[in-house]
């Protein structure tokens, strides 16, 4: 993540120039000095409104990660633990930016513990580590349910849904399942990675992402991951059986294994692993160095 994403920098520069240019043009056409004053006021108002987010992100990027948070990440995130100093600094910055920009709350807007908020951010930071120009695709934030699961009527403590990624709403995750996903960082199960993968998948498809495939050349992302899904041998798969449901669940389950058991995935499904390296812009085998199977 960048302190000021490039597309926002472009629009900031564009509208600043536009207001200045229009004000100067009107002044030369009318000769009235008050037009310059009006343009200056409009420019000042625009900058006050437009710079709020960049300044907030800048403060978050420069803030020091609390020592308690750092120790928690070291204990809970093999990805973070395996990074070198520069990588850890970037990971910590992404965590701070994520929490500064993304609403993570309980049902009904209830507060959530810093540990759970930090685990949500750690999942996003790992997945964005190789894609510094991308923002987390969570415009509606994250809602954390109490307990292990919720049901289809969104009743906490009932049913067996540990997480959900609805197209028009916040990402939903059950708090105990979230924590269990990090309790064993090498079992290939992590609900926040799974649900975030659905949003990344949706964004990639909507944006027409092209990826380089093993056979050479570029292919549309959805077509490429669809090919992997169709040819995958689920009888001898390293993925959870739920991956057989459809292409989207296949990608989400594969992402869990990619970040938690990368060497195993690379050894059993090399083409799928290479595609995920291309998609996420990183190879977790260089990061997950402890306890990997």
pLDDT tens-place string over residues 141-184? 999 999 999 999 999 989 999 999 998 889 999 999 999 999 98
Cβ neighbours, 10 Å, residue 255: 25
Helix (H, G, I), strand (E, B) or coil at 24: helix
Q: Which two tokens stand for residue 249?
A: 């669940």
Tell me which residue of 125, 139, 248, 116 sits closest to 194, measured CA to CA.
248
DSSP per-residue letters across 190-222: -HHHHHHHHHHHHHHHHTT-EEE-TTSSEEEHH
Q: Please give the Cα distance from 93 to 83 (Å, whole number).
A: 14
pLDDT tens-place string over residues 260-286? 999 999 999 999 999 999 999 999 998
**Mean pLDDT over the full length of the chain:** 89
DSSP per-residue letters across 55-87: HHHHHHHHSPPPHHHHHHHHHH-HHHHTS-HHH
pLDDT band at 4 (very low <50, low <70, confident <90, very high): low
Length of the chain: 293
Tell me which residue of 66, 65, 94, 67 sits closest to 79, measured CA to CA.
94
* 278 and 211 Cβ atoms separated by less than 8 Å: yes
Tokens 């269990």 correspond to 180
Question: What average pLDDT does range 80-93 have in this prediction?
Answer: 94
């Amino acid at each position: 993540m960048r302190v000021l994403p490039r597309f926002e920098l472009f629009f900031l520069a564009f509208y600043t120039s536009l207001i200045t240019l229009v004000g100067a043009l009107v002044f030369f056409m009318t000769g009235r000095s008050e037009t310059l004053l009006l343009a200056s006021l409009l420019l000042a108002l625009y900058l006050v409104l437009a710079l709020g987010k960049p300044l907030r992100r800048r403060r978050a990027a420069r803030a020091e990660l609390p020592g308690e948070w750092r120790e928690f990440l070291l204990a809970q995130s093999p990805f973070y633990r395996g990074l070198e100093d520069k990588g850890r600094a970037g990971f910590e910055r992404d965590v701070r930016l994520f929490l500064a920009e993304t609403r993570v709350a309980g049902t009904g807007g209830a507060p959530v513990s810093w540990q759970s908020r930090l685990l949500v951010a750690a999942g996003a930071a790992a997945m964005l580590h190789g894609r510094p120009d991308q923002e987390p695709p969570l415009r509606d934030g994250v809602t954390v349910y109490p307990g292990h699961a919720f049901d289809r009527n969104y009743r906490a403590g009932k049913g067996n849904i540990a997480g959900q990624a609805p197209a028009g709403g916040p990402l939903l995750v059950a708090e105990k399942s979230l924590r269990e996903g990090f309790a064993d960082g090498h079992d290939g199960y992590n609900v926040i990675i799974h649900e975030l993968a659905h949003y990344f998948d949706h964004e990639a498809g909507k944006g027409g992402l092209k990826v380089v495939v093993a056979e050479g050349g570029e292919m549309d992302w959805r077509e490429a991951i669809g090919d992997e899904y169709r040819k995958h041998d689920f009888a001898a798969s390293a993925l959870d059986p739920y991956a057989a449901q459809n292409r989207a669940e296949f990608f989400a389950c594969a992402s869990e294994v990619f970040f938690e058991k990368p060497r195993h995935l690379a050894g059993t499904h090399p083409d799928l692993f290479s595609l995920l390296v291309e998609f996420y812009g990183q190879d977790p085998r260089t990061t997950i160095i402890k306890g990997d199977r």
